[in-house]
Amino acid sequence: MKRVIIDTDAGVDDALALIFALRSPELFVEAITTVSGNVHVDLCTQNVLRVLDILRLPSPPPVARGEEKPLSRTLFTAPEVHGEDGLGGVHSIRNNLGDLKYPEPPLEAIEISAPELIADKVGKYDGEISIVTLGPLTNIARAINHKPATMRSLKEIICMAGAFRTYGNTTPVAEFNAYVDPEALEIVLDSGIPVTFVPLDVTERVCLTEDCVAREISPLGTKLSEFVVDLVQGYMKYHKETTGVPGCFLHDPLAVGVSIDESVVELVEGYVQVETAGKITRGMTVCDLRSVPCVKRAPNARICTEVDSERFLRLFLSRIRG
């Protein structure tokens, strides 16, 4: 069983990724940490607690609130993608009696900050902790800056971030998480900690379709399946309107999938840099993936370049079904 920390900005696909992780016996989720990204960190924290309330775990992992804004930039959010609440509007859905279908969760975050909790867990389980980042890497960078020696004992960081041989989803060249806080990603890349990128190159090949939801999830008739159906409606509408896809990309769940079984993807090593100074290239992730690169540099990361989409979807759906 792999010890993991999930660091999340708690949008729609983040919620799906949390459900996936928490229902996977291969993973022991030591903690969930929140960070501003898709929405402000306060909403992110509330969203994580809402997911935990839906799952009704006997011993839920601690949840720690993280950074409110990027290291040195104004926060950039994505309400048009994930809704104003970050969960596609589920906060305001009402049942037949007019009551909130998903009321305020009774759970609370712990007092310690996310960067502190991350460093504490890494120090406690020397060489055993993997961090799966689903949002901007601000919390991780803060932890590295605060306790660099401790953080170097991380087993790995698996980050849903970057776009290498494909367009970005925030600008033509930048993926959202890298765009929001490129300085944080740069600190992570320079830290010497093993990093695996799960970029748009592979996440945009994994789609949860409307037909799949209707066929595989809706008929389950559970509180969780009903929540998932409600969760993805607005997210799917956004994807259909902007990309023509009849469903939604499973960006963050794929990062969790790689932490469970990395054989669902193909990986290459490379030297990755992120643009922090460019006027129109902010957050662009750069790696010379040609067979004969212009300049040979020691790799600082692994990059997912191919994915077995069908196999991954089978794994994901098996955990939703439970």
The answer to whether 34 touches 61, Cβ cutoff 8 Å, is: no
Q: Give the active site residues.
A: 251
Q: What is the signed CA dihedral for 139, 262, 18, 229, rounded to 10 degrees? A: 140
pLDDT of residue 291: 78
pLDDT of residue 288: 92
Q: How many domains does the chain have?
A: 1
**SS3 for the chain, per residue?**
CEEEEEEECCCHHHHHHHHHHHCCCCEEEEEEEECCCCCCHHHHHHHHHHHHHHHCCCCCCCEECCCCCCCCCCCCCCHHHHCCCCCCCHHHCECCCCCECCCCCCCCCECCCHHHHHHHHHHHCCCCEEEEECCCCHHHHHHHHHCHHHHCCCCEEEECCCCCCCCCCCCCCECHHHHHCHHHHHHHHCCCCCEEECCHHHHCCCEEEHHHHHHHHHHHCCHHHHHHHHHHHHHHHHHHHHHCCCEEECHHHHHHHHHHCHHHEEEEEECCEECCCCCCCCCEEECCCCCCCCCCCCCCEEEEEEECHHHHHHHHHHHHHC
Q: What is the mean pLDDT of each run of 10 residues along the chain (322 residues)?
A: 98 99 99 99 98 97 99 97 96 89 93 98 98 99 98 98 98 99 99 98 98 97 97 96 95 99 98 97 96 85 99 98 88
- How far apart are alpha carbons 88 and 104 in whole angstroms? 16
pLDDT of residue 97: 84
Joined tokens for residue 62: 């601690």
Q: Give the other-Cβ count within 10 Å of 293's Cβ.
A: 12
pLDDT of residue 273: 98
pLDDT of residue 108: 97
> Which CATH number is 45's domain given?
3.90.245.10
- How far apart are alpha carbons 24 and 206 in whole angstroms? 19
Give the amino acid at 209.
Answer: T
State the Cα angle at 81 between 75 and 87, rounded to 5°.
Answer: 90
pLDDT of residue 98: 86
The answer to whether 266 touches 312, Cβ cutoff 8 Å, is: no
Q: Find residue 4's DSSP bridge partners.
A: 29, 130
- How far apart are alpha carbons 260 and 257 in whole angstroms? 5
Domain that holds residue 231: 2-321
pLDDT of residue 96: 86
